[in-house]
C-alpha cells in the first residue's frame, strides 16, 4: 500500500514537474554572420525569461554556455547523419557519446530531435531512415541511463495532405503507412511528443482574403469556425492547425500522443510583395501565443481541452544568412545587435496591457503598384556574374533585351544587366514560385529602374 502510494506520488510529481510544464522556450538558430557569442546569447535567453532553448545542432560552445542554467535544452542530430545512423548502431552510440555524454551532468539536455523537417525534403532515402535512426539514438540514450531525455523529430504542416476541416486532418499518402505509422508507434511507446512546426502566418498569408488576420493573430474576434465533422468551435487558426494534426494521428490509431510546438512565430519584416510581416503583427502573435500556452489551468485546443502544449518560439535572432524570401531572415525576437525587435517576455506572466505600445502595421494589405527586382547594394561581382548567366540560361527570352544591339545592352554594365535580368526573371517566374533573392544578390524595389527606351519588366500583386 505504502509503496503504491509512493509510486503514485512520484508519478504525479513527475507529471506536474518542470518536464511537462507549459514553459515557453526559444529556438536558437545560428544562420547569421553577425550573431552574439554563445555566452552572451544565453544571457539574452535568460533575460527574455525563456525556460527552454532549442538548438539546430549540438554546438559544444553553446552546450557549455548553458551549463548550470535552469534552461531545458533540445539538441538536434543533423539531417545528413540520419541515413548512416539508421543502419549503424555504432554511429548512434558515437553521436550520443560525443554530443550528450560530456554535457549531460551540467546541462539539462532533455530532448534529442533527429533531423529537421525531414519529410519536407525531397531526399526520400532519409525519410525511410528517420524512424530507424530515432530507434538507434534512443537505444544509445537508454544504454547511457539518460532517462530524462525524450527522442523525437520536428515535422512541418506539409506532412498533412488535408488539414481542413480539422477533423479531416490526414497525413500525406506517400508517408502515411511507411513513415508516420512507425513514427507514431515509437512516439507513443516511448511517451515522447509529436514535435510540430506550425505557422498560422503562412496559412494566412497564402489566403488573406478568406482568413481574417485577427483569427490568425489569436486576437479576440467574433469570428468562429465550427467543424461540421465534430461540432467543435474554433476561435483561432493555431487551434485549427494543431487539431488537424491530432485528428490525423487519431486516424492512424494514435489518439493520445502529446503535441510539442517545436517552432511557431511571425515575421517582423519581409519583402514588398509579402503581406502582414511587420513588428505589430509579430509582437501581437507571439504575445498571444505565450499567453495562451502558459495559461493556468491549461487551455489546450477544442479537440484536447485543458492539455499542456509546450512550445518553442521561432526565433531568438533575425538570421541574415537564411535563404529564401526576406521573411525568413526576420523571425527574430532580437536583432543581432542584442536589442529587442519589440517588447516581449516569455515568462507568460506579463499581461498584454503591461507591454510597451507597438508601431502600427503598414502592410496588412497587398502592396498596390509595380515592383522590380534589382541588384542589392554591395553584391559580390563574381557571384553576380554567375547569377546573371544562370538567369539568362532559364530560357524564354528573359535576357533578350540585354543582348548586343538590343534596347538594354548599353550601358554594358554587369549591375544594370543583372538588374534587368533579375526583374525579367522574377516577372516571368514569380507565379511559379520564383523569388527575388538570388542568394542575397537581389532586392525588391518600388522605384522603376527603367531608363531611356529600356523598360524593365515588373510585378503587380
Instruction: Please list the active-site residues.
Output: 117, 263
- For the CA atoms of 387, 388, 392, 393, what is the dihedral angle to 10 degrees? -40
Q: Which is nearer to ligand NAG, 351 or 446 (CB)?
A: 351
Q: Which is nearer to ligand NAG, 129 or 310 (CB)?
A: 129
CB 410, min distance to ligand NAG, A = 26
Rounded to whole angstroms, the Cα distance separating 295 from 300 reads: 9
Q: Which is nearer to ligand NAG, 19 or 49 (CB)?
A: 49
Q: Which is nearer to ligand NAG, 369 or 403 (CB)?
A: 403
Q: Which is nearer to ligand NAG, 2 or 357 (CB)?
A: 357
CB 303, min distance to ligand NAG, A = 16
Helix (H) or strand (E) holding 60: helix 60-65
Q: Which is nearer to ligand NAG, 68 or 382 (CB)?
A: 382
For residue 34, how far is the Cα from the chain centroid?
Answer: 20
CB 105, min distance to ligand NAG, A = 25
Phi-psi sector, 276: left (phi>0), alpha (psi -120 to 50), beta: left
Binding-site ranges for ligand NAG (CB under 6 A): 47, 49, 80-81, 84, 88, 90-91, 161-162, 164, 168, 170, 188, 222, 253-254, 335, 337, 339, 345, 347, 349-350, 354, 380, 382-383, 396, 428
SS3 call for 114: strand
Q: Which is nearer to ligand NAG, 60 or 359 (CB)?
A: 359
For residue 121, how far is the Cα from the chain centroid?
Answer: 14
Rounded to whole angstroms, the Cα distance separating 76 from 263 reads: 14
Phi-psi sector, 178: left (phi>0), alpha (psi -120 to 50), beta: alpha
Q: Strands (DSSP E) along 164-291, which ranges?
A: 170-171, 193-197, 225-226, 233-234, 258-264
Q: Which is nearer to ligand NAG, 359 or 369 (CB)?
A: 359
Rounded to whole angstroms, the Cα distance separating 83 from 80 reads: 7
Task: At 331, give phi and psi (nearest 5°).
Answer: -100, 5
Task: At 372, give phi and psi (nearest 5°).
Answer: -115, 165
Task: At 39, give phi and psi (nearest 5°).
Answer: -70, -40
Q: Return the C-alpha cell found at 448.
A: 522603376
Partnered with residue 453 across adjacent β-strands are none
- Taking the alpha carbons of 311, 316, 318, 321 in that order, is the dihedral positive or negative? negative
Which residues fall within 8 angstroms of residue 193, CB to CB, at 6 or more apart? 150, 152, 187, 257, 258, 259, 260, 310
Q: Which is nearer to ligand NAG, 91 or 407 (CB)?
A: 91
SS3 call for 183: helix
SS3 call for 241: helix
Assign 3-state DSSP to the chain and report helix, strand, coil percentages, each to 5. 40, 15, 45
CB 431, min distance to ligand NAG, A = 8
Indicate the DSSP class of residue 307. -
CB 333, min distance to ligand NAG, A = 12
Prior bond to 192 cis, omega within 30?
Answer: no
How far, in Å, are 161, 182, 327 from residue 202 at the CA level? Answer: 16, 29, 10
Beta strands 160-162 and 225-226 are unpaired
Amino acid at each position: 500500500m505504502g509503496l503504491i502510494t509512493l509510486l503514485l506520488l512520484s508519478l504525479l510529481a513527475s507529471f506536474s514537474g518542470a518536464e511537462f510544464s507549459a514553459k515557453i522556450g526559444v529556438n536558437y538558430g545560428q544562420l547569421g554572420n553577425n550573431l552574439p557569442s554563445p555566452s552572451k546569447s544565453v544571457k539574452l535567453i535568460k533575460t527574455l525569461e525563456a525556460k527552454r532553448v532549442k538548438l539546430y545542432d549540438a554546438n559544444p560552445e553553446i552546450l557549455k554556455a548553458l551549463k548550470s542554467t535552469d534552461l531545458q535544452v533540445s539538441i538536434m542530430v543533423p539531417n545528413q547523419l540520419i541515413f548512416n545512423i539508421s543502419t549503424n548502431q555504432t554511429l548512434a552510440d558515437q553521436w550520443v557519446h560525443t554530443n550528450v555524454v560530456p554535457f549531460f551532468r551540467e546541462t539539462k539536455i532533455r530532448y534529442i530531435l533527429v533531423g529537421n523537417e525531414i519529410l519536407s525534403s525531397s531526399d526520400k532515402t532519409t525519410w525511410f531512415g528517420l524512424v530507424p535512426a530515432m530507434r538507434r539514438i534512443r537505444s544509445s540514450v537508454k544504454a547511457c541511463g539518460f532517462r530524462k531525455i525524450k527522442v523525437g523529430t520536428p515535422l512541418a504542416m506539409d506532412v498533412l495532405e488535408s488539414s481542413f476541416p480539422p477533423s479531416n486532418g490526414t497525413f500525406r499518402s506517400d508517408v502515411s503507412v511507411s513513415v508516420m505509422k512507425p513514427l507514431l508507434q515509437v512516439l507513443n511507446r516511448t511517451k515522447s511528443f509529436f514535435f510540430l512546426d506550425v505557422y498560422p502566418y503562412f496559412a494566412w498569408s497564402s489566403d488573406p482574403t478568406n482568413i481574417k488576420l485577427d483569427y490568425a493573430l489569436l486576437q479576440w474576434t467574433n469570428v468562429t469556425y465550427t467543424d461540421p465533422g465534430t461540432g467543435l468551435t474554433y476561435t483561432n487558426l493555431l487551434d485549427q492547425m494543431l487539431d488537424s494534426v491530432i485528428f490525423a494521428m487519431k486516424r492512424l490509431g494514435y489518439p493520445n500522443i502529446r503535441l510539442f510546438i517545436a517552432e511557431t512565430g511571425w515575421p517582423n519584416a519581409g519583402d514588398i510583395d509579402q503581406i502582414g510581416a511587420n513588428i505589430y503583427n509579430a509582437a501581437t502573435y507571439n504575445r498571444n501565443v505565450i499567453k495562451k500556452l502558459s495559461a493556468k489551468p491549461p487551455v489546450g485546443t477544442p479537440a484536447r481541452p485543458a492539455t499542456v502544449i509546450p512550445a518553442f518560439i521561432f526565433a531568438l535572432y533575425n538570421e541574415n544568412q537564411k535563404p529564401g524570401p526576406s521573411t525568413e531572415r526576420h523571425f527574430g525576437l532580437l536583432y543581432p545587435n542584442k536589442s529587442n525587435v519589440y517588447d516581449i517576455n516569455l515568462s507568460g506572466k506579463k499581461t498584454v496591457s503591461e507591454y510597451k505600445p507597438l508601431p502600427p502595421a503598414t502592410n496588412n494589405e497587398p502592396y498596390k503598384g509595380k515592383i522590380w527586382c534589382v541588384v542589392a547594394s554591395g553584391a559580390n561581382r563574381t557571384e553576380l556574374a554567375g547569377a546573371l548567366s544562370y538567369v539568362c540560361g532559364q530560357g524564354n527570352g528573359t535576357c533578350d533585351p540585354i543582348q548586343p544591339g538590343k534596347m538594354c545592352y548599353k550601358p554594358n554594365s554587369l549591375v544594370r544587366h543583372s538588374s534587368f535580368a533579375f526583374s525579367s526573371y522574377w516577372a516571368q517566374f514569380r507565379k511559379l514560385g520564383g523569388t527575388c533573392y538570388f542568394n542575397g544578390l537581389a532586392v525588391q524595389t518600388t522605384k522603376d529602374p527603367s531608363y531611356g527606351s529600356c523598360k524593365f519588366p515588373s510585378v503587380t500583386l
